Amino acid sequence: MSVDHPSESVSTVRTVPAVFGSKKVVPDSAWEWDFAAHLKQTHTTLELVALYSRYRDEEGPFESQLRRVIFRAMCRTAGHALQIGPGVVVKHPETMELGDAVFIGAQSMIQGRFDGTCRIGNHVWIGPQSYFDARNLVLEDYVGWGPGAKVLGSSHTGHPIDVPIIATELSIKPVVIGYGADIGTNATILPGVHVGAHSMVGAGAVVNLDVPEYAVAAGVPARVIRHRKT
């Protein structure tokens, strides 16, 4: 039986350069843009969604490229260097605007609405298995979205009280995640919340109030625990 040396079992913290956030945007090929424009002109949104579903779960480089082309055709606008992981589900993509260098992780879902607005800025990283109620949603540039984090942009009013809650009217409130903010793994952002620029939301937090710029918020419900500038 061998015994590890104590020094070998001690974990070492490493600091390495950021990759995604510092990466320069490489323009996509002209044929991709031409093909996406052609698909948009010749197919309805429902037809594009059906076409996208054929390649949604594939992981090969060719299928990933086709998924990007079709996703761009489905959306109102989508920039260069878009990355769509396998299994990403999207509803009402025609209401969505994506900037350059957007990454959407595997098995995420973006739930839009036919008369809604969803804007995702440049250099936004969205972790796997995330969920977005994107009826009135803005993610500004350089937002980091942890795996499994969720945003809810709507809720039922619950009135009148003698009607099943799920049958009552839906109240849609805008959600804004500010420039450079970071949302932790499995956090939940509730309707009407504005997360300020350069702020941080802790893993598993439930955010029901606005978060100021440069603040760090954590807990259930989330509260500001410190300010990054102090």
Contacts of residue 163, defined as CB under 8 A and 6 or more positions apart, other chains included, come to none
Provide the token pair at 49: 């969604």
Give the chain's end-to-end CA distance (angstroms, integer). Answer: 51
Give the closest residue to 68 by CA, choosing from 82, 58, 79.
82
- d(CA 198, CA 143) in angstroms, rounded, equals 9
Helix boundaries (H) for the chain:
6-9, 30-42, 45-55, 61-74
Q: Which residue is it, tokens 């500004």?
A: 140
Give the closest residue to 175 by CA, choosing from 134, 127, 147, 122.
134
159 is catalytic: yes
Q: Is the four-CA dihedral 143, 83, 59, 72 of positive or negative sign?
A: positive
- d(CA 130, CA 145) in angstroms, rounded, equals 8
Of residues 43, 156, 159, 194, which has the active-site annotation? 159
Q: How many helices (H) does the chain have, and how many strands (E)?
A: 4, 22
Catalytic site positions: 159
